[in-house]
Structure 1
Amino acid sequence: MEKTYEPHQIEQRWYQTWEDKGYFAPRGEGQPYCIMIPPPNVTGNLHMGHAFQDTLMDALTRFHRMRGDNTLWQAGSDHAGIATQMVVERQLEAEGKTRHDLGREAFIERVWEWKKTSGGHITRQLRRMGSSLDWAHERFTMDEGLSEAVKEVFVRLYEEGLIYRGKRLVNWDPVLHTAISDLEVLSREEKGHLWHMRYPLSNGTGQLVVATTRPETLLGDCAVAVHPGDERYKHLLGELVELPLTGRKIPIIADEYVDPEFGTGCVKITPAHDFNDYQVWLRHRDENAISQQPHGGLINVFTRNAAIRENESEEDGLIPEPYIGMDRFAARKQIVKDLETLDLLEKIEDHKLMVPRGDRSGSVVEPFLTDQWYVRVQPLADPAIKAVENGDIRFVPDNWKNTYFEWMRNIQDWCISRQIWWGHRIPAWYDDQENVYVGRDEAEVRKQHNLPDAVQLRQDDDVLDTWFSSALWPFSTLGWPEQTDRLKTFYPTSVLVTGFDIIFFWVARMIMMGLKFMDDVPFREVYIHGLVRDAHGHKMSKSKGNVLDPIDLIDGIELEALVEKRTGSMMQPHLAEKIARQTRKDFPDGIPSFGTDALRFTFAAMASTGRDINFDLNRIEGYRNFCNKLWNAARYVLMNTEDKDCGQHGGDTELSSADRWILSLLQQTEQQVIDNINNYRLDLAAQAIYSFIWDEYCDWYLELSKAVLTGEVTSEAAQRGTRQTLVRVLETVLRLAHPVIPFITEEIWQRVAPLAGVEGETIMLQPYPQADDALINETAAAEIDWVKQFVLGVRKIRSGMNIDPRKPLPVLLQNGNTNDRRRLETNRDFVTSLARVESIEWLGDNEGPESATALVGEMKVLIPMAGLIDKDAEQARLNKELERKRNELERTEKKLGNASFVDKAPAAVVEKEKAKLEDIRTTIRQLEEQLEKIARL
């Protein structure tokens, strides 16, 4: 093996080997185990959330594959309708063109070209992460097979009356000209205003003051609402007010939606431009004062561009001429100005409000009344709720089922149409009379409805919401609507691994569609993981400049390249400057190369169920050191076992207490790891692996093995037993750790396996370790625990007395019982070697010179100090340290004696200072005791 562990020399080589040899494919007759990858956007880059989530899925997949399960991790990506269309439209914009210049068909061809050349970027990054997906069966939501599944589901739901077309409010992006889902709307607090407008009572007796953040929607008001319990306005219920600038009269109504404490307690109701107002309108639309208004009170004032619309006819006349064609924000300014002129503006207040913006365009999203396609969700939601209630699906952690229930029990019909070109086109056709026909294709429509070729049909221009095709992912990827072998084998899938933010948008919809079309749940368990945040607990975002790229952590990146990466797309120079400054402060030397395994182990070690992760580079640096430790341990093992008899071909072996102890501890570790992975506690599994390899195997067992392998009187059988234990334990622990750190374990295993008598092409198809209770040896564990205490006691004395760690020491023992004497004789070579002991003698109860003492149970371990230390130098050193500690004590006592500090500082800070004070006092006592002992020499 190379002297230094270099992950880049092995990672891509091994991944290519695994993929080329088809190791990721399902195999064997074992129990089916399947995970569906949440399909990443074809436009996307691998971010920290992906890398974290995919590490968890890959660890589970590799674990079950090694356990003998017929394992499938289904690969695939999502066509990401809006995001992908925007990418290609920007390319066209750079060429001075629009999609309309190309036409729909040519534009779609252009998108497919882009997908072919650039769309696989994120899948290449997934490979860098070591993801063992079944790439041979990779799917794409716009594949022919998946497209057929989408059409089949749409048609069946339509035929059952569960899909319909209707006019309702949607989130409208006026830049993209399409409805978007709630998940694509980012609401952030921004500075705005609260305009207080006077609406005169039509009876001439006064006015109502209405407070609003959107005066431009006044043109579409159908009512003014007050709270039914608001005594200020009870006498006005049923009265009418003059709607300024319009000449219309609208009623005063009572509704509990109104907050009497907000503004004036009077709220304008504009149902075509506010989701809450729309709900108020639904509750009151049958009341005469509203139902008799134009359009039944549902008055749209905007165009698709969020400009003031024209009047639909001369009779319409709802929109005052001066505002027609104005952008909504220009109209806002003009309306406010006109109200002021008419003395109908009482005041303007500064006001912070949540502003919804499209996540792709950045434009302010407009609630907009349009004709859209909807899924009638309640009949699908009821069985999906029951599936979780009765335990057919289990959430991990369990509390997330409450979030699921909250959403599902308050579910609204789902708007599934989008006004873009890239996506699954809605399988609906219209004739010249606007009659609608739904079918799998135009030929089917004509046949079902006896429509001759002379009847012109045009297909609906809209495409389906990306979440519609994603909802079918667990069965469409397996071949549905055909009854394929893969579908029969792997549906229902085993577990869905995902974040809490898409429980409703994706998880719930998969459950509804799975139950509807497969008559079974799509997965048995839903493992909800936390979000990856920065080291300070802040959400990672480009605008904050705290994004980490997992590939940069694997490969490393120089400081200036990192600064450019974080600020290159920034439009505001002052923000770019701030981010650059912070980046240079946080990463003065850039980011070093850590390798994939170190990153994966970090993710696993931090994967506490349901908790967010504060990602700190110190953690990944520690786990890179762990990989180095494992590499160096393997080098030691190979140097002591290659070309030597390790018992793989028979022969007498004699196991030392250390051999029996490490084998015993390995069984317990194996069971801990298996139990924790089965319970989705990869953090505890990683901790158990780390502790065994670093703390026990490397720090203790390898050192103990030297006493056997280099001992002059050790038998050949004992040396053979230790060599056998070295390679067998290492080979086993490599298999144990492989699901989390696949690359380094494969590289080492290839060299160690033959020495352990294990055959096979790859570690990833070897059986996962299984604990053997027959190897658990409490006696050996007690023996080595005694040795550890002995060695640590001597080392503590060395450290405390500043004795050269290389200097052999004489040791005297007192108060030992029969067990201690037996253990010493059995393990004398171990304690002599590890503690660097020159001699060991037993003393009577009252014998012995002035000594430093350690305890091993009741037994005293004495090291005579005479002649071991320079008395004067040691006294000088201890006095200097004692003076430093006393000064520190004085400062800390003074700080805690300051009432201002104790009263004003956070309680945690005060407690920390108190704990520090006790530590200082303890250290001072220990130093004084050491000085007293030295003085007696």
Structure 2
Amino acid sequence: MSQELPKAYDPSTIEQRWAEYWVKEHLFDVPTPETTHDSAKKFTILLPPPNVTGRLHMGHMLNQAEMDILTRWHRMRGETSLWVPGTDHAGIATQMMVERQLKEEGKNRKDLGRSAFVEKVWAWREVYGGAILDQMKRLGASVDWSREYFTMDDRLSPAVNEAFVRLYEQGLIYRGAYIVNWDPSIQTAVSDLEVEHEERLGKLYHIRYPLADGSGSIVIATTRPETMLGDVAVAVNPTDERYKHLVGKTLILPLVGREIPILADDWAKPEFGTGAVKVTPAHDANDFAIGQRHNLPNLTILDETAHVLLPGSPYHGLDRYEARERIIADLTAQNLLVEIKDHTNSIGLSQRTGVVIEPRLSQQWFLAVNKTPNTGGDSIAAKAIAAVAQGHIKFTPDQYRKTYDEWMKNIYDWCISRQLWWGHRIPAWHCKGCAGITVSRTTPTTCGNCNSADITQETDVLDTWFSSGLLPFTVFGWPNPDPDTGMPDLTPDLATFYPTQLLVTGFDILFFWVARMIMLGTHFMLDVPMPDGSPRTLADAVPFREVYIHGLVRDADRQKMSKTKGNVINPIDIIERFGTDAVRFTLASMASPGTDIAFSEARTEGYRAFANKIWNAARFLFMNIENAKTAGYNTTINPGGPSFAQFAKGGLSSEARPSSPALHETLALPTDTPLETRWIFDRLSAVSSVVERALADYRFDEAANAIYQFFWGEFCDWYLELVKLRLNFTEGAEKNAITALTLASLVGVFEAALRLLSPFMPFLTEEIWHALYEGKPPAKSIALTRYPQATDFPADPIAASAMQTLQELIVTVRGLRKELGVPEKEPAPIVIHANNRIVALTDANQDVLAKMARVQAVEFASEPLTGTNARSTADFDVAVLYERQIDIPAERERLTKDLAKYEKGLAAADKQLSNEAFTAKAPAHIIEGLRKQSTETRILYDKTKAALDALGN
């Protein structure tokens, strides 16, 4: 590559090229370590596996941008940084996708049979399953692609089997009939977490149930009259005086004619409806509990598709809502419908299909999370609760720790089975002879109980979250059984990379995935020894040390994105318009713990302009390097060499690994270094410190904004303009040390700033960085160089203070010139009244004032300056000498407003400083700051009052 950059910055011409380069060169691959005792610091992070059916959305992009920024930052800090990518087989979503495809062909999965259908899903996955990972590559995610996993690949499937069998052997997995959330569309159980509740206006039906002895009736209230076909009792509260005398009697179930008992149970609430409730144990979770307490039968009256399943009944075969209408009509005809009231109800909807969930009694497999294993030790839930309570896992924001804790302490047994064909098939076999169940790591040929060969495998598959909950250790080779004991043992990867350091995810999967990983990790990894052979404690069994929960990406009006609202933003469309770097920087600039992001295209357009600003700065720099070459200056850019290298240190040798950064010493500047150069290095040191702290606290917004202000405001708007005074390569100009020093400093600061920006804008910085080294960089990528540290650059508070004063003077003069109407290009003299330090500073930098504020000459006054052409600050008075009539009333109005502002400031400061309770508790630097502010405000007040008095009435 040469130093020449195209005139126009066009991200479309560079981003794809670098994305392909990073993957092709395996730049971010981390090989399995040769020793598990490597002392190098590690940073390991897992990608929350997107569904194999997925496409990139803005939530994905925020999540992956944050992970990539952090991984690149840690890598550039010299840590062995491993980001593991992969996809989830997404049982429900993938099966739905393929079934939809079959439907278009006029077929269904039952036509194919299970084996052929699963083969078709695998074929579908080969064609479409990598789309979202291809998009990640396009976005430049710095993951180790050599470690890419799929939750049903040949490495992970055996581990999932092993986990199930171990839990079963420990007495923690059982099979039983329980009420589950049933999705009639895909005909499978779904977890509570996969049910979304929505408030809807419905009806409350009051129905009369006649007493069997003909002595009267009871009126019950229900929102689902179709389920009355499965009623086995009516319950009343034992304290309800209205019904005490009826407990023990029987009723005739309307439309069915079956006798059912009246029983007393605390679940019945006298204040709800009529106080009497129908009991349908097979179709309601609370009714199921009542049935368990009173030993009632379970009568299932709806099939898997929510159609009535009662052969011989007039309602048999009807959809649940059709049955409801027919039942209401028949009850009305028999004068058993008392009334219908409007009633707002919380309806459970399947997250996957959107259909109304049907509570249904079903045989399912469960993981007992609160049960003590038969091998001893705490329950799965207890260990997961303790891991967070004891501080082994930290949540950011901290509020989610409490949310996690409350959910875990009220957790139910986990239904881990799904009635699907796509997924990890449960390794259990049912015997037709003895009805026993054989659970095995390998396919058995006979029943483990009676040795019958007439066995068939369980048709259910495991919940997708079961396999993904194992990922933090299965991706590193668990279980790796010891040949002697059969117990899980360490692999080099597991010894090195477990626990991972961080999980970055959204709140929506806090319970789906985060809690599952903590439960399974702390349970299984406690059995795996440490690298030195010692037993593993809970502190080292956790799957990650920290969990960072980011917010949602909303639209510009802060509305949640949804297809229904039509406000979904496709990140690929935005990227094609503005470039990946601009979109990443937009998300980073708005991302902080606990806050959602209102994504704005206008803001993205602004950061596209920011990238263009940097591009133009690079072109300016390269132009001056070429001018220097022509003038005979040494322009070798070679870290470790004698010229620009001393200011552009930090690159690794081409042979060095990212985990072994080159030694770095703080730069020492010559004593005659110009003020602006000493200042920019001080600012570079300061901003490096700010970014370091911000990223450590996941304040992406603070880090991005600090870099933005430095690169655009301080480097481009100030430093680049000032160095033009020092760079003189015109024909006949003699080479001089200041020109050489300035150019070297300019290159060094720019190169360091590129490295500072690199995790946020990897494509732009890679392109310019390679061009800077003319195709011979010290490493294959800027991502493999050292991240700037505050100690790399000389802090110079004296230069920083002087430059701040000089900038304030320039800005004040510019403002005065504008108010006085001085033509933009016309120089004008100024007069300054200040202390000796500022007088000396001004005198030494008249060339700077001339360039930056069009100052023709500087005079110094011994007395304070007043008048309409003067302005005052706490440090100086300045007047622009320009003959123009001033609008005295307007000037008086301005000064009056300023005086009122200063009076208010003084009153506020005095109130705080005179408050003994405040001054006793406030830190010393706060008190000192207030006193300094009060002193400066008093000076401004006095000067403004004098200027106002000088105007007269």
TM-score bracket relative to the smaller structure: 0.7 to 0.9
Counterpart of 1:515? 522
Structure-1 separation of matches of 2:678 and 2:265: 77
Counterpart of 2:92? 82
Structure-2 separation of matches of 1:247 and 1:714: 112
Q: Indicate which of 821, 844, 859 corresponds to 1:802.
A: 821
Counterpart of 1:729? 749
Counterpart of 1:7? 11
Secondary structure of 1:526's match?
strand
Structure-2 separation of matches of 1:235 and 1:809: 104
Contact 1:851 1:865 in 2 (8 A): no
Aligned partner of 1:405: which letter?
D
Structure-2 separation of matches of 1:765 and 1:307: 61
Alignment of 1:671 onto 2:689: yes
Q: Indicate which of 656, 661, 668 corresponds to 2:679.
A: 661
Q: Indicate which of 353, 362, 376 corresponds to 1:361.
A: 353
Q: 5+ residue gaps in structure 2? A: 371-378, 481-489, 527-540, 644-668, 898-945
Counterpart of 1:314? none
Select between 669-678 and 322-331 the one with higher mean Cα deviation: 322-331
Alignment of 1:744 onto 2:767: no
Q: Indicate which of 373, 380, 395 corresponds to 2:365.
A: 373
Q: Indicate which of 836, 841, 853 corresponds to 1:823.
A: 841
Structure 1 pair 607/112, CA: closer, same or farther in 2 (3 Å)?
same
Contact 2:679 2:799 in 1 (8 A): yes
- Measured after TM superposition, the shift of residue 45 of structure 1 is 0.6
- Measured after TM superposition, the shift of residue 684 of structure 1 is 1.3
- Measured after TM superposition, the shift of residue 821 of structure 1 is 1.6
Q: Deviation per CA, 1:396-430, whole angstroms, max 9, x where unpaired? A: 11110111111111111111111111111111112
Alignment of 1:490 onto 2:497: yes
Contact 2:477 2:491 in 1 (8 A): yes
Superposition map of 1:268-417 within 5 A: 268-282=278-292, 284-285=293-294, 291=295, 296-310=296-310, 321-378=313-370, 379-417=379-417
Contact 1:851 1:863 in 2 (8 A): no
Structure-1 separation of matches of 2:429 and 2:125: 28
Alignment of 1:553 onto 2:561: no
- Measured after TM superposition, the shift of residue 12 of structure 1 is 0.9
Superposition map of 1:179-194 within 5 A: 179-194=189-204
Select between 639-648 and 381-390 the one with higher mean Cα deviation: 639-648
Counterpart of 2:229? 219
Secondary structure of 2:578's match?
coil
Q: 5+ residue gaps in structure 1? A: 286-290, 312-319, 556-592, 886-928
Alignment of 1:764 onto 2:783: yes
Structure 1 pair 655/170, CA: closer, same or farther in 2 (3 Å)?
same
Contact 2:839 2:860 in 1 (8 A): no
Structure-1 separation of matches of 2:221 and 2:450: 57
Counterpart of 2:706? 688
Contact 2:237 2:264 in 1 (8 A): yes
**TM-score, L = length of structure 2:** 0.82
Counterpart of 2:81? 71
State the identity %.
48
- Measured after TM superposition, the shift of residue 261 of structure 1 is 4.2
Aligned partner of 2:687: which letter?
T
Aligned partner of 1:26: which letter?
V
Structure 1 pair 446/599, CA: closer, same or farther in 2 (3 Å)?
same
- Measured after TM superposition, the shift of residue 280 of structure 1 is 3.9
Structure 1 pair 494/89, CA: closer, same or farther in 2 (3 Å)?
same
Aligned partner of 2:347: which letter?
V
Q: Indicate which of 56, 67, 71 corresponds to 1:61.
A: 71
- Measured after TM superposition, the shift of residue 859 of structure 1 is 2.0
Structure-2 separation of matches of 1:360 and 1:647: 60
Counterpart of 2:54? 44
Structure-1 separation of matches of 2:288 and 2:590: 45
Secondary structure of 2:255's match?
coil
- Measured after TM superposition, the shift of residue 169 of structure 1 is 0.9
- Measured after TM superposition, the shift of residue 201 of structure 1 is 4.2
Contact 1:193 1:213 in 2 (8 A): yes
Q: Deviation per CA, 1:530-584, whole angstroms, max 9, x where unpaired? A: 11111222211111111111101101xxxxxxxxxxxxxxxxxxxxxxxxxxxxx
Q: Indicate which of 863, 871, 877 corresponds to 1:854.
A: 871
Structure-1 separation of matches of 2:319 and 2:598: 43
Contact 2:688 2:788 in 1 (8 A): yes
Secondary structure of 1:297's match?
coil
- Measured after TM superposition, the shift of residue 206 of structure 1 is 3.9
Structure-1 separation of matches of 2:785 and 2:508: 37
Structure 1 pair 125/228, CA: closer, same or farther in 2 (3 Å)?
farther
Secondary structure of 2:50's match?
coil
Q: Deviation per CA, 1:605-643, whole angstroms, max 9, x where unpaired? A: 111102222212222122212211222222222222343
- Measured after TM superposition, the shift of residue 205 of structure 1 is 4.9
Contact 2:447 2:455 in 1 (8 A): no
CA RMSD of aligned residues (A): 3.0
Structure 1 pair 278/684, CA: closer, same or farther in 2 (3 Å)?
farther
Q: Indicate which of 502, 508, 513 corresponds to 2:509.
A: 502
Structure 1 pair 448/323, CA: closer, same or farther in 2 (3 Å)?
closer
Structure-2 separation of matches of 1:773 and 1:471: 42
- Measured after TM superposition, the shift of residue 266 of structure 1 is 3.2
Q: Indicate which of 588, 603, 616 corresponds to 1:604.
A: 588
Select between 230-239 and 302-311 the one with higher mean Cα deviation: 230-239
Query: How many pairs were matched up?
Result: 827
Superposition map of 1:74-153 within 5 A: 74-153=84-163
Q: Indicate which of 21, 27, 52 corresponds to 2:25.
A: 21
**TM-score, L = length of structure 1:** 0.83
Contact 1:393 1:521 in 2 (8 A): yes
Aligned partner of 1:409: which letter?
K
Contact 1:850 1:864 in 2 (8 A): no
Q: Deviation per CA, 1:486-528, whole angstroms, max 9, x where unpaired? A: 1221111111111112111111111111112111111111111
Contact 2:438 2:448 in 1 (8 A): no
- Measured after TM superposition, the shift of residue 234 of structure 1 is 5.3
Structure-2 separation of matches of 1:779 and 1:932: 36
Structure 1 pair 408/552, CA: closer, same or farther in 2 (3 Å)?
same
Alignment of 1:32 onto 2:52: no
Counterpart of 1:177? 187
Q: Indicate which of 599, 607, 618 corresponds to 1:634.
A: 618
Q: Indicate which of 456, 469, 472 corresponds to 1:471.
A: 469
Structure-1 separation of matches of 2:843 and 2:635: 26
Structure 1 pair 391/550, CA: closer, same or farther in 2 (3 Å)?
same
- Measured after TM superposition, the shift of residue 736 of structure 1 is 1.1
Structure 1 pair 408/608, CA: closer, same or farther in 2 (3 Å)?
same
- Measured after TM superposition, the shift of residue 602 of structure 1 is 1.1
Structure-2 separation of matches of 1:304 and 1:508: 30
Structure-1 separation of matches of 2:866 and 2:257: 109
Contact 1:41 1:79 in 2 (8 A): yes
Structure-2 separation of matches of 1:167 and 1:528: 36
- Measured after TM superposition, the shift of residue 447 of structure 1 is 9.2
Counterpart of 2:460? 462
Contact 1:646 1:721 in 2 (8 A): no
Aligned partner of 2:11: which letter?
P
- Measured after TM superposition, the shift of residue 323 of structure 1 is 2.1
Secondary structure of 2:145's match?
strand
Q: Deviation per CA, 1:661-697, whole angstroms, max 9, x where unpaired? A: 1101111111111111111111111111111112211
Contact 1:57 1:497 in 2 (8 A): yes
Counterpart of 1:915? none
Counterpart of 2:720? 702
Structure-2 separation of matches of 1:793 and 1:260: 76
Select between 768-777 and 245-254 the one with higher mean Cα deviation: 245-254
Structure-1 separation of matches of 2:579 and 2:243: 68
Aligned partner of 1:620: which letter?
T
Contact 1:731 1:753 in 2 (8 A): no
Q: Indicate which of 792, 796, 803 corresponds to 1:784.
A: 803
Counterpart of 1:529? 550
Structure 1 pair 636/226, CA: closer, same or farther in 2 (3 Å)?
farther
Contact 1:849 1:864 in 2 (8 A): no
